[in-house]
Amino acid sequence: MAMTLRLDEATADALRDQAQSDGRSVHQTVLIAIDEYLARHRRSRQIDALAREAASDYPDVLRRLGE
C-alpha cells in the first residue's frame, strides 16, 4: 500500500535525525515505529482480555484483595 505521510517541519526533522542516528532510512524508521505501535496495542488488548477472564473466573479472590 502506498501512502503519503504529512509531517510538520519539527517532526520531519526529528524523524530524519533519528533515522540517521540509527543508521536507517526514514522509511525503515517509520515501518519500525508502526510495527512497535501495533505490537504494543496488540499486547494491551491481550492483557485486557486476560484481565476480564480472570475477573470472571476469580471474582471472590479479587473482592477479597480489594478489601
| Structural domain span for residue 60 | 24-65
**Residue 26 binned pLDDT confidence (cut-offs 50, 70, 90):** very high
State the pTM of this model.
0.68
Selection from 25, 32, 38, 30 nearest residue 7 by Cα: 30
The Cα 27–Cα 18 span in angstroms is 12
Q: What CA–CA distance (Å, rounded) separates 49 from 55?
A: 10
For the chain, how many structural domains are there in total? 1
The answer to whether residue 35 sits within a structural domain is yes
Cβ-in-10-Å burial (0-12, 13-18, 19+) of 11 comes to: exposed
| Whether residue 54 has pLDDT greater than 90 | no
pLDDT at 1: 87
| Lowest mean pLDDT segment, chosen from 9-18, 40-49, 57-66 | 57-66
Tell me, yes or no, whether 31 lies in a domain.
yes
